[in-house]
Amino acid sequence: MIFGCNESASSKINPDNKLSIQKENNYAEITFDKVFHDFGFINEGEIVETIFKFTNTSENDLYITDAIGSCGCTVPKYPKNVPIRPGETGEIEVNFDTNGRPDLQQKMVKVSANTSSGGKLLRIQAFVEPKIN
């Protein structure tokens, strides 16, 4: 025996819950003030830092789940798994250790977040003047 039902699953959802379900399925959006920073000429041995400021420009909470530098010399500090409400701002601080890294250096920080693209790439560069021994 086969029984059918004319009622679809979507019609069984309480209309008050539809908005919250739609909102849960939407991604957050992160907008940075910059995605590239050039330190210019710096001396080997210096540890320099820059700050990438961002805003949650969506109607959903933003969560940054990870931020990883392209090497151990590039270390990001960020608000991990903290809800950033719509319209709120935050910062990702990136420290770059120039020890043993002479000449032109280009590094990236991969930011993972609950956005449609999965995150963002931030880039830094510097020309590191070698130590004179």
Token pair recorded at residue 28:
């957050």
Token pair recorded at residue 79:
């608000």
What is the model's pLDDT at position 21? 40
Candidate from 2-11, 33-42, 52-61 with smallest mean pLDDT:
2-11
Side-chain half-sphere CA neighbours of 32 within 13 A = 16
pLDDT at 91 exceeding the cut of 60:
yes
Contact partners, residue 38, CB within 8 Å, separation at least 6: 124, 125, 126
Region 62-78 average pLDDT: 96
> pLDDT tens, 114-126?
999 999 999 999 9
pLDDT at 45 exceeding the cut of 50:
yes
**Residue 120 located in a structural domain:** yes
* Residue-number span of the structural domain to which 122 is assigned: 30-129
Please give the mean pLDDT across all residues of the chain: 87
**Residue 22 located in a structural domain:** no
pLDDT at 5 exceeding the cut of 70:
no
What is the model's pLDDT at position 86? 97
The number of domains in the chain is: 1
Q: Reduced to 3 states, what is the DSSP secondary structure of residue 122?
A: strand
CATH number at residue 41: 2.60.40.10
Token pair recorded at residue 21:
């379900």
Measured CA to CA, the distance from residue 124 to residue 36 in angstroms comes to: 6
**Residue 103 located in a structural domain:** yes
**Residue 113 located in a structural domain:** yes
